[in-house]
């Protein structure tokens, strides 16, 4: 992932997506479209070609992707193609071919070119965290939606009772009043349907206040889940990062997904102290990239990608046995003590491996 070529390719693709989206937006202005039609056509052909190559390359390499590694190649490719991000990729190249075949009646689908914007999700950990926050809070958000629908129905039917005689065109039926209710509850208030009777105005005031309270609920839920998610993940813990850790090599896809939920991340700069001898222990660390140094009385021990540390104090419920410092820039995956104990209980082979390593290290130093 730290390969400069990979960075350059990602940067190039991001730039192309931004240029594409800007081109689609500008092309909708007739004066700009007429003056630069060749330029827009050039952008479309070049990006259609590059996005197709990108799609084909990703499809071809799907069996190498850690989540699909245990599958047959054709199955891995099929599973990859069904992934939402891959569907976005496909929708992003579709307009290029539709325009080429000049399919009648499908010209409006050319707006699908704006779908290219969503390709950015792949390169934006923040967007991924937002999606995860929304997914994690889906039940609470669904409850908010149900409450909102209930409030809308209540406000619409009460308003229908209060104003149907005076304004039959706006509040004559409950569906008509529902339009007013949703516009009021969401605090948009277009003003095209307004109550005129005193009782109607009281209902409108109560509905507007209820709307404020009800909209604050989902906003608060998503905001706090998002900030929790961002802080939980200093960098985004990806599937491949977890699947590459040798300790988790035997886990199946479901278990990796479970472990991924528990892992937090931390980036360290060279020389940074990660755990200090004698401190209380709350977590164990897995090295995703970079090196650390365990400061021991004799020679320091260097640990690298795939190794773990910080397990001894947790397993033995003692204080840290040594100080561990980052030797290079490194990325660590952090597993909290409770999650570690749960993982060990659920996976005896991992438990055995960690205990063996801890015993060997303890034998070398602390026993």
Closer by beta carbon to ligand CMP, 321 or else 327: 321
Q: How far apart are CA 344 and CA 239, in angstroms?
A: 20
Degrees (nearest 5) of the Cα angle 222, 225, 228? 150
Q: Which residue is nearest to ligand CMP (CB)?
A: 313
Using rule CB under 6 A, residue 287 touches ligand CMP = no
**Stretch touching ligand CMP by CB under 6 A, among 22-30, 132-140, 211-219, 311-319:** 311-319
Using rule CB under 6 A, residue 312 touches ligand CMP = yes
Say which residue the tokens 């040798």 belong to.
246
The sign one gets for the Cα dihedral 65, 68, 74, 80 is: negative
Closer by beta carbon to ligand CMP, 267 or else 323: 323
Single residue of 17, 310, 332, 343 touching ligand CMP by CB under 6 A? 310
Q: How far apart are CA 264 and CA 241, in angstroms?
A: 12
Closer by beta carbon to ligand CMP, 156 or else 312: 312
Number of residues that bind ligand CMP (CB under 6 A): 17
Closer by beta carbon to ligand CMP, 144 or else 281: 281
Q: Are 288 and 327 in contact (CB under 8 A)?
A: no
**Stretch touching ligand CMP by CB under 6 A, among 96-104, 194-202, 223-231, 307-315:** 307-315
Closer by beta carbon to ligand CMP, 222 or else 294: 294
Single residue of 294, 330, 334, 335 touching ligand CMP by CB under 6 A? 294
**Stretch touching ligand CMP by CB under 6 A, among 12-20, 91-99, 254-262, 357-365:** 357-365
Report the nearest approach of ligand CMP to the CB of residue 299 (Å).
10
Report the nearest approach of ligand CMP to the CB of residue 363 (Å).
8
Single residue of 324, 332, 333, 335 touching ligand CMP by CB under 6 A? 324
Single residue of 309, 330, 333, 344 touching ligand CMP by CB under 6 A? 309
Using rule CB under 6 A, residue 313 touches ligand CMP = yes
Report the nearest approach of ligand CMP to the CB of residue 73 (Å).
39
Using rule CB under 6 A, residue 281 touches ligand CMP = yes
Report the nearest approach of ligand CMP to the CB of residue 313 (Å).
3
**Stretch touching ligand CMP by CB under 6 A, among 93-101, 115-123, 171-179, 294-302:** 294-302
The sign one gets for the Cα dihedral 268, 270, 273, 275 is: positive
* Residues binding ligand CMP (CB under 6 A): 275, 281, 294, 296, 301, 309-313, 320-322, 324, 361, 364-365
């Amino acid at each position: 992932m730290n390969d400069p070529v990979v960075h350059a390719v990602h940067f190039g693709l991001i730039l192309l997506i931004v240029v594409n989206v800007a081109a689609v937006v500008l092309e909708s202005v007739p004066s700009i479209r007429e003056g630069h039609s060749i330029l827009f056509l050039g952008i479309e052909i070049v990006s259609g070609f590059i996005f197709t190559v990108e799609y084909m390359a990703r499809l071809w390499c799907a069996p190498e992707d850690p989540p699909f590694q245990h599958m047959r190649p054709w199955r891995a490719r099929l599973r990859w193609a069904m992934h939402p991000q891959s569907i976005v990729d496909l929708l992003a190249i579709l307009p290029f071919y539709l325009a080429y075949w000049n399919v009648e009646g499908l010209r409006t689908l050319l707006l699908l070119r704006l779908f290219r914007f969503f390709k950015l999700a792949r390169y934006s950990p923040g967007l991924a965290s937002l999606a995860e926050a929304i997914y994690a809070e889906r039940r609470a958000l669904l409850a908010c939606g149900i409450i909102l629908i209930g409030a809308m129905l209540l406000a619409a039917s009460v308003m229908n009772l209060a104003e149907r005689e005076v304004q039959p065109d706006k509040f004559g039926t409950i569906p008509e009043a529902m339009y007013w209710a949703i516009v009021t509850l969401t605090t948009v208030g277009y003003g095209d349907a307004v109550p005129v009777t005193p009782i109607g105005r009281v209902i409108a005031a109560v509905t507007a206040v209820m709307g404020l309270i009800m909209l604050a609920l989902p906003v608060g839920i998503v905001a706090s889940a998002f900030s929790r998610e961002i802080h939980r993940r200093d960098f985004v813990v990806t599937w491949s990062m977890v699947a590459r850790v040798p300790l988790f090599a035997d886990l199946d896809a479901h278990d990796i997904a479970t472990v991924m939920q528990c892992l937090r991340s931390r980036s360290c700069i060279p020389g940074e102290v990660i755990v200090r001898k004698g401190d209380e222990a709350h977590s164990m660390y897995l090295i995703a990239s970079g090196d650390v140094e365990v400061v021991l009385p004799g020679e320091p021990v260097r640990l690298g990608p795939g190794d773990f540390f910080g397990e001894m104090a947790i397993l033995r419920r003692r204080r840290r046995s040594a100080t561990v410092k980052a030797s290079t820039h490194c990325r660590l995956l952090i597993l909290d003590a409770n999650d570690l104990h749960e993982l060990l209980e659920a996976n005896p082979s991992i438990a055995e491996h960690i205990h063996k390593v801890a015993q060997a290290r303890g034998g070398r130093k602390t026993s």
